């Protein structure tokens, strides 16, 4: 009867490589014809909308769009506050070793700095420094041998190994259409200047074959009121959403990652029953990207031999990504920001735009150190008719040590920072106390390599030295010996050695211990 290999396969994925790169996106912003000339820019910021990314040999090509929001003071006697929303596409290539065509890619973007120059009243030159983190991931179907059959005297050594099986990924869009009312006491909308949208209260739970993702869409709106003063107004709304994400095979014991992103957002003033623009029609699409792995304990063949024939086996390196641990924590930053003498006095703060940035991280035994800052743009109504709206920029640095069991020196980790909450108090005409709560999500990932038997073959024994062995051999164990190694060397069985020496399977063999090895084949 010929040798039969029982195989099992599982899908795994692992990081092949990653690297960082910087690029400058330069763009000339032309003021729309319906807008007046630009006299002074109050605030110019942007965000990156991720496009396609594609792997090639040792490279990852990325495409994306930088969307700019501009608040400016017009060049006219009224010095009205106006806004421009525009965008600029970009392409860039990141060198990532070992990347090959067809591999999956993951890309993160961070706007490190935006510089601008007003060329004239109708044109603004913008230079944006982008930091790009590109990662290549290999998805493979890994096959391994977990049993051997067909040879009567085949001896098999099995090990239990934890394998992190890749269940797959799924991306869905959740669109919320809402009619948001203007709060009582606020004037109707004359003109929308700016909308800022973020996702807060992120949470998800896993049920059989699906993920239930939840969150709240926070919407801040800056607008010109339809009143005699044409005053600058602001309002805040929050919209909850729930979305099912199908992912076959996922269960409560699975490791899961859900990434939330604002895909698109549009806002249009609508009339109420009295014919006033006191309703804001909001359409926001949230993209939810989920992926999951399952830890499975599988029994694999680690060695094999036959008493009568030669058994040869081939081994293959098997790479897996193992999530060592996850940690969720928060850091609260509080600081009294004192405006410099070039900024007008505060009448009312209407929003603070907060953006966390991670400068660097380091891992040690049992901890992770983070260095970063939260960049704040404080938007306020000024107590100055010549400069009615102003923005003051301030940076709050932080250094945080997080105790994480399982962390080791030099270990790689994924760190996500997100502003969960920001509030403020006006202390004086030129002082604001800012309080920012930053969510810190750390995921420690370790790539391990397991050597697995991928193929086994049988052939006649050419060396017949085993036939010269005496019926009983006295063997003195050497460093690194095991009963399996001794039995394989003398082509006998572990069971016979245990029986003759009156040993148990759990007994530990000492160096120099006398072992009686019975001859199995006559």
State the Rg of the chain over Cα. 33
Query: Residue 520 pLDDT more than 90?
Result: no
Q: Work out the pLDDT band at 500, boundaries 50, 70, 90.
A: very high
Query: Residue 507 pLDDT more than 80?
Result: yes
Exposure letters 99-112 (e unless 16+ CB within 10 A, then b):
beeebebbbbbbbe
| Cβ neighbours around 351 below 10 Å, total | 20
What's the whole-number mean pLDDT along residues 1-21?
Answer: 85
Lookup result for tokens 């735009």: 353
- The three-class DSSP label of residue 506 is coil
Position with higher pLDDT, 38 vs 384: 38
How much is the pLDDT for 78?
A: 75
Q: Work out the pLDDT band at 469, boundaries 50, 70, 90.
A: low
- The three-class DSSP label of residue 468 is helix
Exposure letters 117-137 (e unless 16+ CB within 10 A, then b):
ebeeeeebebebebebebbbb
Exposure letters 315-331 (e unless 16+ CB within 10 A, then b):
eeebbbbbbeeebeeeb
* Residue 275 Ramachandran class (φ > 0 left, ψ -120 to 50 alpha, else beta): left
On whether the CB atoms of residues 486 and 514 are closer than 8 A, the answer is: no
pLDDT digits (tens, 9 = 90+) for 110-129: 898 999 999 999 999 999 99
pLDDT digits (tens, 9 = 90+) for 171-225: 999 999 999 999 999 999 999 999 999 898 899 999 889 999 999 999 999 999 9
| Cβ neighbours around 491 below 10 Å, total | 21
Query: For the ranges 61-75, 329-343, 437-451, 477-491, which has the lowest average pLDDT?
Result: 437-451
What's the whole-number mean pLDDT along residues 148-166?
Answer: 85
- The three-class DSSP label of residue 483 is helix
How much is the pLDDT for 290?
A: 95
Query: Residue 464 pLDDT more than 60?
Result: no
How much is the pLDDT for 472?
A: 85
Domain boundaries, the chain: 15-139, 162-305, 307-462, 467-518
How much is the pLDDT for 176?
A: 95
Residue 389 burial (10 A CB sphere; 0-12, 13-18, 19+): buried
What's the whole-number mean pLDDT along residues 470-493?
Answer: 89
Q: What share of the chain is helix, strand, coil (3-state, %, to 5)?
A: 5, 75, 25
On whether the CB atoms of residues 351 and 381 are closer than 8 A, the answer is: no
What is the DSSP secondary structure assignment for residue 462, as one 8-state letter? Answer: S
How much is the pLDDT for 505?
A: 83
Report the distance separating Cα 236 and Cα 182, nearest Å. 9
How much is the pLDDT for 56?
A: 95
Residue 475 burial (10 A CB sphere; 0-12, 13-18, 19+): middle
> What percent of the chain lies above the pLDDT cut of 90?
54
Structure tokens at 522: 């006559």
pLDDT digits (tens, 9 = 90+) for 37-62: 999 898 899 999 999 999 999 999 99
Structure tokens at 109: 């973007």
What's the whole-number mean pLDDT along residues 4-26?
Answer: 89
How much is the pLDDT for 387?
A: 67
How much is the pLDDT for 88?
A: 95
On whether the CB atoms of residues 150 and 3 are closer than 8 A, the answer is: yes
Q: Work out the pLDDT band at 465, boundaries 50, 70, 90.
A: low
On whether the CB atoms of residues 387 and 73 are closer than 8 A, the answer is: yes
Report the distance separating Cα 121 and Cα 431, nearest Å. 32
Report the distance separating Cα 436 and Cα 423, nearest Å. 7
Residue 56 burial (10 A CB sphere; 0-12, 13-18, 19+): middle
| Cβ neighbours around 202 below 10 Å, total | 17
Q: Work out the pLDDT band at 450, boundaries 50, 70, 90.
A: confident
Task: Name 246's Cβ contacts closer than 8 Å, sequence gap at least 6.
Answer: 170, 209, 210
Structure tokens at 375: 């960049």
pLDDT digits (tens, 9 = 90+) for 233-290: 889 999 999 999 999 999 988 888 899 999 999 999 999 999 999 999 999 999 999 9
What's the whole-number mean pLDDT along residues 324-333?
Answer: 90
Query: For the ranges 163-177, 320-334, 482-496, which has the lowest average pLDDT?
Result: 320-334
Average pLDDT value over all residues in the chain: 89
Report the distance separating Cα 497 and Cα 283, nearest Å. 75
H or E segment and range at residue 484: helix 483-489
**414 alpha carbon, distance to own chain's centre:** 6
Query: C-alpha angle 355/357/363, rounded to 5°?
Result: 145
Residue 163 burial (10 A CB sphere; 0-12, 13-18, 19+): buried
H or E segment and range at residue 494: helix 494-500
Query: Residue 1 pLDDT more than 60?
Result: no
Q: Work out the pLDDT band at 385, boundaries 50, 70, 90.
A: low
H or E segment and range at residue 206: strand 189-207
Q: Domain spanning 467-518 has what CATH number?
A: 3.10.350.10
pLDDT digits (tens, 9 = 90+) for 421-440: 888 999 999 999 999 999 99
Q: Work out the pLDDT band at 467, boundaries 50, 70, 90.
A: low
Residue 224 burial (10 A CB sphere; 0-12, 13-18, 19+): buried
How much is the pLDDT for 386?
A: 67
H or E segment and range at residue 485: helix 483-489
On whether the CB atoms of residues 67 and 47 are closer than 8 A, the answer is: yes
Task: Name 139's Cβ contacts closer than 8 Å, sequence gap at least 6.
Answer: 11, 12, 13, 104, 166
* Nearest CA-CA partner of 481 in 469, 472, 490: 490
Q: Work out the pLDDT band at 468, boundaries 50, 70, 90.
A: low
Q: Work out the pLDDT band at 230, boundaries 50, 70, 90.
A: confident
Query: Residue 456 pLDDT more than 90?
Result: no
Task: Name 278's Cβ contacts closer than 8 Å, sequence gap at least 6.
Answer: 181, 182, 188, 189, 271, 272
| Cβ neighbours around 342 below 10 Å, total | 6
């Amino acid at each position: 009867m010929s040798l039969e290999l029982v195989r099992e396969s599982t899908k795994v994925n692992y990081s092949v490589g990653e690297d960082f790169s910087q690029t400058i996106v330069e763009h000339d912003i032309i003021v729309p014809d319906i807008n007046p000339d630009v006299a002074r820019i109050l605030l110019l910021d942007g965000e990156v909308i991720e496009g396609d990314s594609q792997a090639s040999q040792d490279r990852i090509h990325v495409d994306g769009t930088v969307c700019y929001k501009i608040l400016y003071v017009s060049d006219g006697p009224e010095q009205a506050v106006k806004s421009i929303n525009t965008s600029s596409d970009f392409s860039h290539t990141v060198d990532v070793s070992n990347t090959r065509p067809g591999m999956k890619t993951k890309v993160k973007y961070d706007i490190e700095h935006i510089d601008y120059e007003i060329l004239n009243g109708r044109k603004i030159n913008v230079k944006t420094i982008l930091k790009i983190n590109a990662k290549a991931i290999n998805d493979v179907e890994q096959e391994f041998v977990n049993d051997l059959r067909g040879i009567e005297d085949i001896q098999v050594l099995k090990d239990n190994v934890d394998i992190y099986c890749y269940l797959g990924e799924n991306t869905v869009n959740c669109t919320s259409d809402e009619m948001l009312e203007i709060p009582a006491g606020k004037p109707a909308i004359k003109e929308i200047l700016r909308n800022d949208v973020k996702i807060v209260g992120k949470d998800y739970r896993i049920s059989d074959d699906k993920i239930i993702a939840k969150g709240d869409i926070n919407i801040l709106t800056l607008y010109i009121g339809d009143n005699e003063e044409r005053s600058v107004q602001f309002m805040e709304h929050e919209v909850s959403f729930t979305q099912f994400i199908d992912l076959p095979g996922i269960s409560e014991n699975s490791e899961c990652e859900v990434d939330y992103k604002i895909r698109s957002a549009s806002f249009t003033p609508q009339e109420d029953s009295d014919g006033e623009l006191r309703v804001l029609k909001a359409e926001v699409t949230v993209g939810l990207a989920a992926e999951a792995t399952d830890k499975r304990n599988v029994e694999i063949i680690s060695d094999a031999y036959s008493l009568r024939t030669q058994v040869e086996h081939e081994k293959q390196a098997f790479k897996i990504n193992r999530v060592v641990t996850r940690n969720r924590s928060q850091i609260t930053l509080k600081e009294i920001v004192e405006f410099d003498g070039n900024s007008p006095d505060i009448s009312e703060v209407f929003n603070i735009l907060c953006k966390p940035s991670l400068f660097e991280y380091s891992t040690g035994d049992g901890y992770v150190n983070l260095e970063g800052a939260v960049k704040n743009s404080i938007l306020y109504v000024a107590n100055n008719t010549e400069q009615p709206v102003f923005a003051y920029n301030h940076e709050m640095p932080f250094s945080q040590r997080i105790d994480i069991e399982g962390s080791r020196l030099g270990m790689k980790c994924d760190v996500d920072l997100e502003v969960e909450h920001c509030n403020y108090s006006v202390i004086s005409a030129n002082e604001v106390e800012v309080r920012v709560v930053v969510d810190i999500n750390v995921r420690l990932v370790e790539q391990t390599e397991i050597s697995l038997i991928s193929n086994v073959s049988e052939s006649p024994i050419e060396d017949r030295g085993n036939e010269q062995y005496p019926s009983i051999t006295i063997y003195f164990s050497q460093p690194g010996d095991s009963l399996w190694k001794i039995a394989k060397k003398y082509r006998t069985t572990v069971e016979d050695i245990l029986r003759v020496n009156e040993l148990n399977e759990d007994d530990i063999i000492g160096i120099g211990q006398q072992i009686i090895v019975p001859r199995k084949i006559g």
